[in-house]
Amino acid sequence: MNKLALFGGSKFVTDKHEAMFHWPIVTEEDDAAVLDVLHKGLMSGTEITKKFEDKMATWLGVKYALGYCNGTSGILGALWACGVGAGDEVICPSMTYWASASPVQTLGAVVNFADIEKDTLCIDPDDIEHRIGNRTKVIIVVHYAGQPCNMDKINAIAKKHNIFVLEDASHAQGSLYHGKKCGTLGDVSVMSLMTAKSFAIGEAGMLFTDNKQIFEKAMSYGFYERTGAVSEFFKSDNQISDPELLKYAGVPLGGFKHRMHQMSSAVGLIQLKYFDERSAENDKAMKYFWSQLEDIPQIKPHMTTEEGCTMGGWYYPLGYFDSKSYQEGALKKICKALTAEGVPSCSPAKNKALHLHPAFNELDLFRVGKPTAICWAERDVRQGKGACPNSEDVQNYVFSVPWFKHCEAQVIDEYVGAFHKVFAQLDDILK
Ligand SMILES: *Cc1c(COP(=O)(O)O)cnc(C)c1O
């Protein structure tokens, strides 16, 4: 038999195939755009960023877009713009990257974590409504690893209780939900555009909304020079109209500087031109990969099959492992065996359940002698083990697979071969 690399056999995939995984795709056009900013000394301006915002708003199909220095800041600005303040509550899925939830604490508010659905890895719409209290202001949804959330149900709940929906679309640039783009489905959305994401332009993020008030508030919170400041470097550049906000013109209300670096916005203008085309190639490649693994009964793709729904650029592609028939830790061993065969990026799910993390339970961010989670809150919404079982168990049934950037069947087949080799000898690996 074909001896596993894990046990000293030879590696199945010997070439690293760097061109297959290299991201983002950068050409002379990106180079020229960056150098232009550099040589003109425009790194800290806003003129290129505004052009990029306009193009992004058109691409997504929303009225307003606001460029941020990163996605985390965009989420903070969006939350403040939605009216979140000390003692308020925000609902967020437990299994997500920390940046979906941490900015809630910056505002002195508290996260009431909901569980995820096992079959989408997105917030479970049936675990939301019972968490809503007098002070719940926002439901944050994360289109996890490109898969759109069940927005019809979520929006209906939000509407009924008159609360905002903030989409964290950092994984889902270009993903469709019933034919509509993720990022246009709630009251406001934020996309991280950092280098690892599927829309990758450096350290950057963007907020999108059709709601003028949200747009203006986010602007006032972190963009001093766009609320009317006049300085040596910035001409009077007022983009807000609300008198309540104009009163504070020139000073960012959060004390934050959320401006996007213009080298990133310049790259963004170029990347946008090719984004849909490159995402379509990602989609084709990932679908081909999974189609070649259909005969392995223990695994299946994390992929929407709903009409009109897509995975966008397949950021962080994942698979499900049928863990029920195996002992705990089986998936970790399988990933180790795959890695040994030369399969990159193969590991159990990286994001752990946040509701169990001390940062959301014990941290006294404001140094007032009390955990921030209960400092100004009307009730204690902290939760222990067992509260979000699908989130807590995710490392046992979800694993990452290589993110193929090009649909080259010959190369993908090598990785497919490694999967077949490993799963044919599962008993030996799990012994
Ligand atoms: C990457 C990411 C963010 C944060 O974006 P940054 O640009 O890294 O600050 C927020 N939410 C999710 C789900 C992410 O994956």
Note the pLDDT of residue 1: 58
What is the distance in A from the centroid of ligand 1 to the CA of 207?
A: 12
Residue by residue, DSSP assigns 307-350 as TT---TT-SS-EEEE-GGGS-TTHHHHHHHHHHHTT-TT--B-S
Label residue 408 left, alpha or beta by phi (over 0 means left) and psi (-120 to 50 means alpha).
beta
Q: What is the pTM of this model?
A: 0.97
* pLDDT over threshold 60, residue 388: yes
The answer to the question of residue 285 being in a domain is: no
Q: Give the helix/strand (H/E) hosting 90.
A: strand 89-93
The answer to the question of residue 331 being in a domain is: no
3-state DSSP call for residue 209? strand
Note the pLDDT of residue 235: 58
157: containing domain: 28-269
The answer to the question of residue 333 being in a domain is: no
Alpha-carbon distance 346 to 260, whole Å? 33
The residue with greater pLDDT, 231 or 160, is 160
Ligand 1 atom closest to 68 (CA): 7
The residue with greater pLDDT, 243 or 129, is 129
The answer to the question of residue 88 being in a domain is: yes
* pLDDT over threshold 60, residue 102: yes
User: Which residues are bridge partners to 64 per DSSP?
Assistant: 209
The answer to the question of residue 275 being in a domain is: no
User: Which residues are bridge partners to 348 per DSSP?
Assistant: 399
| 89-93 vs 136-142, strand pairing mode | parallel
pLDDT tens column, 28-79: 999 999 999 999 999 999 999 999 999 999 999 999 999 999 999 999 999 9
Q: Which two tokens stand for residue 190?
A: 């934020």
pLDDT tens column, 314-342: 999 999 999 998 999 999 999 999 999 99
Scan for tokens 């929006």, then name that residue: 155
Ligand 1 atom closest to 193 (CA): 7
What is the distance in A from the centroid of ligand 1 to the CA of 170?
A: 6
* pLDDT over threshold 60, residue 233: no
232 pLDDT band (50/70/90 cuts)? Answer: low
The answer to the question of residue 294 being in a domain is: no
Scan for tokens 């795709």, then name that residue: 25
Alpha-carbon distance 50 to 259, whole Å? 11
* pLDDT over threshold 70, residue 344: yes
The answer to the question of residue 119 being in a domain is: yes
- Helix/strand/coil percent split, the chain, to 5: 40, 15, 45
Nearest residue to 87 via CA among 130, 139, 128, 133: 133
pLDDT tens column, 179-204: 999 999 999 999 999 999 999 999 99
Mutate to test the pocket of ligand 1, among 168, 173, 193 (most ligand atoms within 8 A of CB): 168
Ligand 1 atom closest to 197 (CA): 1
For residue 195, give the CATH number of its domain. 3.40.640.10
346 pLDDT band (50/70/90 cuts)? Answer: very high
| 205-209 vs 299-301, strand pairing mode | unpaired
Q: How many CA atoms lie within 13 A of 71 on its CB side?
A: 27
The answer to the question of residue 92 being in a domain is: yes
Domains: count for the chain: 1
User: Which residues are within 8 A (CB) of 26 and not within 5 positions of it... i.e. 6 or more apart?
Assistant: none
